[in-house]
């Protein structure tokens, strides 16, 4: 059951009632059971992996805290990290590596019948793995004491709002909250419901609707002209933002209604003026994790190389980011491209800062508009690698965009109209939040009537044009 399945619509309200009916002292137990129930409902054996990672992390971190020998501590940390990463590497990359080995053997005319196992990636494994690794490193660095209660640790790793797609949280933020659960907080619950509502809007009305149109083009790239490919590529970052951003809001909103603070994951990323700023607004929890646990240690290690040390650390960090998203050449390429953009920005930072200061560019609207557009184009171009099936397709798309034009593929006009309606609403809200945050308030309006009408309207809109299943399609044949 994902957040957008009907099952969740039944599970969640029941859980809230059960949760608040449980005495404060035992609420973490209710949550732990609910989290495992949630995950087991997706596939029972996946829960075993989560339990395994929890057990291993608990044992090793307790060992780490009970010894003063630095090198032994380090050994424990490394062993646990390897154990934690093994399932991730196995599930995510096994089939790719398997195929790679198979074809390599074939080229040497060796045909070993390697087991061709069709593996389904355990949902969420990428996310909670990172959370567990982060916790292990934090204990090693003595940033946090190892958790004595294995149940609380289990809850941190399996916490159902976060388990599927993040945000990736830190033990430092979550464990204290789980250990000292507070009573019912009206403001927090209200905030949670608002985030839930907007999250569902983003996912069902914007992301999934855009997906229908973009899939019709990206699944048939050899049949579409450059104009259609360009338009679909232009829309794709918005689909990603509405999808992951919407899902994150649902996750955060769910956690809020249960009384927990969770880090913000997206902060109106399309209003970034530079690529560096973009990565402070897009998938914030992932970037923070990568910065803290990979970039900073790496750039610290290479600091004697000055700016080039930073460039190397950047490229490696984004390479890892690309691989984390998926082990295909396209993801690796995407990661490296991002690393390159940021490296170029870092290398030219001094000179740009001087020019910006001289002409007071940061306050000029045309400079901001230019920055926003340029950053968007860069991110969009790199995403063509993220979306295409393989590198050849990606390059083909670029080629077609620059060499062919023609009529824009419409398919189903109502799909496009719903797409644009949803997208305009989303961007309008982000725009007002960014530049005029105190005006045009709907969910936050002081007038209760306006607030209630806003909530109701969004729910009705979701019922009218939200995408509830895969039954929607654009007929496309060549």
Partner 1 sequence: MEGSLFIFNFRCVGRKIIYNLVLIGIIILILDSAIGKTLNYFYFTETSGVHYRTTVSMESNTAELLIFGSSRANHHYVAETLEKGLTMDTYNCGREGNTILYSYAIFKAVVKRYAPKVLIFDVNINELDYDKVSYERLSSLLPYYENHPEIRSIIELKGPFEKYKLISKIYPYNSILLTIAVGNMGLNMTRKSDLKGYVPLYDYIKDTTLHKIEMADGILDTNKVNAALGIIKYCNSNNILLIFIQSPLYAIGQNTISTNFFTKLAEENETIFWNFINDPDFINKPEYFQDQDHLNDNGANYFSNLLIGKITNLIPTQK
Partner 2 sequence: MERYEIIEKLSSIFHKVFADKTLILSNEMTSADVNGWDSLTHMLLITEIENVFSIKFKLKELNKLRNVGDMVNIICNKL
Residues making contact with partner 2 (CB under 8 A): 141-143, 276, 280, 291-292, 295-297, 299-300, 303-304, 306-307, 309-310, 313-314, 342, 346, 349-350, 353-354, 357
DSSP string over 388-445: SSSHHHHHHHHHHHHH---PPP-SSHHHHHHHHHHHHHHHHHHHHHHH-TTSS-STT-
Query: Are the C-beta atoms of 232 and 474 separated by less than 8 Å?
Result: no
Using the contact rule CB under 8 A, the part of the chain among 90-98, 236-244, 267-275, 466-474 near partner 1 is 466-474
Stretch that binds partner 1, among 39-47, 138-146, 278-286, 411-419 (CB under 8 A): 411-419
The interface with partner 1 within residues 157-196 (CB under 8 A) comprises: 183-186, 189-190
CB 388 within 8 A of CB 218: yes
For partner 2, give the closer residue by CB, 323 or 346.
346
Q: Does 120 bind partner 1 (CB under 8 A)?
A: no
Among the residue ranges 73-81, 149-157, 167-175, 454-462, the one whose residues contact partner 1 (CB under 8 A): 454-462
The yes or no reply on residue 470 touching partner 1 (CB under 8 A) is: yes
Minimum distance, C-beta of residue 342 to partner 1, in the bound complex (Å)? 40
Is residue 81 within 8 Å of residue 133, measured between CB atoms? yes
Q: Is 417 in the site for partner 1 (CB under 8 A)?
A: yes
Query: How far is Cα 178 from Cα 156, in angstroms, rounded to an integer?
Result: 8
For 123, half-sphere exposure in the C-beta direction (CA atoms, 13 angstrom radius) is 17
398 lies in the binding site for partner 1 (CB under 8 A): no
Smallest distance from partner 1 to CB 1, Å: 12
Q: Which of 78, 119, 428, 463 binds partner 1 (CB under 8 A)?
A: 463
Token output for 72: 């032994």
Find out whether 96 and 327 touch, Cβ atoms under 8 Å: yes
Angle between helices 44-65 and 150-158 (to 10 degrees): 130
Q: Which is nearer to partner 1, 163 or 465 (CB)?
A: 465
Q: Which of residues 75 and 396 has its CB atom nearest to partner 2 in the complex?
A: 75
* Cα(265)–Cα(255) distance, integer angstroms: 13
The yes or no reply on residue 24 touching partner 1 (CB under 8 A) is: yes
Rounded to whole angstroms, how far apart are CA atoms 439 and 436? 6
Nearer to partner 2, 297 or 406 (CB): 297
Token digits for 234?
A: 């232009």
Q: CB under 8 A: which stretch of 73-81, 372-380, 437-445, 458-466 binds partner 1?
A: 458-466
Q: Residue 342 binds what, of partner 1, partner 2, none (CB under 5 to 8 Å, by partner type)?
A: partner 2
Decide: is 306 part of the binding site for partner 1 (CB under 8 A). no
Question: C-beta of 465: minimal distance to partner 1 in Å?
Answer: 6
| 282's tokens | 């897009």
Closest separation in Å from C-beta 106 to partner 2: 44
Task: Report how many helices (DSSP H) and strands (DSSP E) the chain contains, helices first.
Answer: 22, 0
Binding partner of 414, given partner 2, partner 1, none, CB within 5-8 angstroms per partner class: partner 1
Quick one: what does residue 2 bind among partner 2, partner 1, none, with the CB cut-off 5 to 8 Å set by partner type?
Answer: none
Distance CA 223, CA 230 (A): 13
For 219, 249, 264, 385, 401, the CA distances from 391, given in Å and listed in that order, are 14, 32, 33, 7, 15
Tokens 């069902």 belong to residue:
204
Q: Nearest 5 degrees, angle CA 242-CA 245-CA 246?
A: 70
Q: How far is the CB of 295 from partner 2 (least distance, A)?
A: 6
Q: Which does 115 bind (CB under 5 to 8 A by kind): partner 2, partner 1, none?
A: none
């Amino acid at each position: 059951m994902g957040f957008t399945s009907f099952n969740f619509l039944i599970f969640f309200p029941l859980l809230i009632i059960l949760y608040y009916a449980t005495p404060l002292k035992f609420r973490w137990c209710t949550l732990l059971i609910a989290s495992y129930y949630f995950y087991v409902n997706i596939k029972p054996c996946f829960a075993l992996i989560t339990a395994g990672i929890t057990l291993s992390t608990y044992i090793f971190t307790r060992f780490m805290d009970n010894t003063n020998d630095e090198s032994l501590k380090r050994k424990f940390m490394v062993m646990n990290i390897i154990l934690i990463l093994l399932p991730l590497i196995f599930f995510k990359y096994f089939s790719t590596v398997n195929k790679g080995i198979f074809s390599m053997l074939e080229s040497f005319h060796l045909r070993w019948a390697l087991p061709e196992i069709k593996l389904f990636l355990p949902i969420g494994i990428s996310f909670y793995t990172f959370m567990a690794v982060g916790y292990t490193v934090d204990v090693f660095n003595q940033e946090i004491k190892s958790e004595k209660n294995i149940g609380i640790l289990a809850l941190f790793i399996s916490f159902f709002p976060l388990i599927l797609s993040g945000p990736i949280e830190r033990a430092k933020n979550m464990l204290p909250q789980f250990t000292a659960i507070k009573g019912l907080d009206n403001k927090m619950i209200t905030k949670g419901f608002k985030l839930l509502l907007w999250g569902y809007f983003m996912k069902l009305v914007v992301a999934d609707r855009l997906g229908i149109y973009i899939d019709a083009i990206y699944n048939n790239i050899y049949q579409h002209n450059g104009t259609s490919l360009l338009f679909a590529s232009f829309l794709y970052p918005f689909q990603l933002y509405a999808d992951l951003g919407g899902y994150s809001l649902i996750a955060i909103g769910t956690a809020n209604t249960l009384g927990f603070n969770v880090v913000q994951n997206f902060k109106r990323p399309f209003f970034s003026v530079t690529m560096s700023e973009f990565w402070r607004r897009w998938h914030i929890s992932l970037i923070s994790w990568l910065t803290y646990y990979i970039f900073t240690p790496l750039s610290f290690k290479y600091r004697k190389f000055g700016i080039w040390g930073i460039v190397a650390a950047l490229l490696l960090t984004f390479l890892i980011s690309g691989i984390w998203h998926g082990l295909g050449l396209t993801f690796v390429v995407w990661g490296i491209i991002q690393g390159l953009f940021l490296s170029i920005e870092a290398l030219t930072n001094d000179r740009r800062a001087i020019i910006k200061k001289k002409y007071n560019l940061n306050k000029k609207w045309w400079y901001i508009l230019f920055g926003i557009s340029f950053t968007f184009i860069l991110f969009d171009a790199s995403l063509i690698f993220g979306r295409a099936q393989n590198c050849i397709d990606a390059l083909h798309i670029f080629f077609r965009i620059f060499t062919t034009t023609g009529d824009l593929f419409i398919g189903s006009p109502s799909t496009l109209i719903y797409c644009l309606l949803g997208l305009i609403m989303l961007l309008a809200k982000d725009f007002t939040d960014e530049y005029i945050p105190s005006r045009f308030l709907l969910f936050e309006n002081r007038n209760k009537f306006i607030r209630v009408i806003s909530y109701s309207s969004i729910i009705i809109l979701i019922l009218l044009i939200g995408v509830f299943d895969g039954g929607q399609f654009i007929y496309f044949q060549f």
